[in-house]
Amino acid sequence: MIEKAKARFPNLEVREWDLAEHPELAPRYGVMAAPAIIINGRLEFSGVPKEQAFLARLEAAGHGTRQ
């Protein structure tokens, strides 16, 4: 799903963090469980979203242009 998002939104910046190694990030973004997806500094999904919901949210957030 991440690879599809990168292809569809070429300006998308993706970062992954292991919360065990970076526990300070969970409270910063309101993460209560992993996996979690944060878009533009805001917790958008707890758990793995359906692909269409994920891509639609990225589109709404203005991450690049559609290809």
The model's pTM: 0.77
Query: In the predicted model, what is the mean pLDDT of residues 12-33?
Result: 91
Residues 6+ apart with CB under 8 A from 63: 5, 9, 11, 12, 39
Query: In the predicted model, what is the mean pLDDT of residues 11-40?
Result: 91
What's residue 37's pLDDT?
93
Query: For 46, which DSSP code?
Result: E
DSSP H helices, 9-50, are 25-29
Alpha-carbon radius of gyration of the chain = 12
Query: In the predicted model, what is the mean pLDDT of residues 44-62?
Result: 92
What's residue 67's pLDDT?
44
What's residue 64's pLDDT?
52
32 in Cβ contact with 45 (< 8 Å):
no
What's residue 66's pLDDT?
46
Q: What is the mean pLDDT of the chain?
A: 88
